[in-house]
Amino acid sequence: MQEPGRDDEASSDDRANPTPPPGLLDDIGRFGRALKQLFGAQLALLSAELGLARSAVFWLLLTALAATVAGVGMGLSLLALSALLLAKWFGSWIWALLVLSVLEGLFLLGMIVFFRRCMHWMTLPESRREWRATLQQAMHRADRQDRPSPETDAEKDR
């Protein structure tokens, strides 16, 4: 059994400091803490995603550089091989390198002419109209994807 003096002390403490029932202010406080926790988690997730994106961009650029270096190296190796074959065929390195330089110059000139022709095609009125129509279709398609259609809204209500 408990001592009678202690029971009176405990009941007098309860009467002096009654715990208020949870009210509107407590609910608002808990709601605020929950929002803070939620947005804190969202912010942490966003910063992690941005860190991954930054890292991905770095690695993409690094792999593109490595692929470019490997492509240039392979191209130089193929040029050296073709020069060696031409030297064996002609019996002279000078003639082989001269023919190889002429071939490379012709290829470069052909690509410059082709590039200029493509730029000319892009400036023709019909090409400009087609580009404009293509861009407008892409923009309309993007707008339609952003906005939900009335049919999908009606299906959600069912």
HSE-CB of 29 using CA atoms within 13 angstroms:
5
Task: Give the residue with greater pLDDT, 10 vs 114.
Answer: 114
Section 64-75 average pLDDT? 95
Is the domain of 139 the same as that of 86?
no
| Residue 112 within a domain | yes
C-alpha 139/C-alpha 147 separation (Å) is 12
Is the domain of 85 the same as that of 113?
no
In the block, tokens 């330089």 appear at 101
Is the domain of 41 the same as that of 59?
yes
Burial readout 119-140 (b: 16 or more C-beta within 10 A, e: otherwise):
eeeeeeeeeeeeeeeeeeeeee
| Residue 35 within a domain | yes
What is the extent of the structural domain holding 39?
28-90
| Residue 16 within a domain | no
- Coil, strand or helix at 49: helix
Q: What pLDDT shows up at residue 150? A: 60
Token pair recorded at residue 135: 């861009």
Last-in-domain residue among 90, 107, 134: 90
Section 101-122 average pLDDT? 93
Token pair recorded at residue 129: 């109209």
How many residues in the chain? 158
- Dihedral of CA 142/147/151/152: which sign? positive
First-residue to last-residue Cα distance in the chain: 65
Model confidence, pTM = 0.45
**Inter-residue contact 97 to 83 (CB < 8 Å):** yes
Is the domain of 119 the same as that of 140?
yes
Domain count, the chain: 2
In the block, tokens 């804190």 appear at 40
Residue 86 clears pLDDT 80, i.e. is over it: yes
Last-in-domain residue among 59, 90, 121: 90
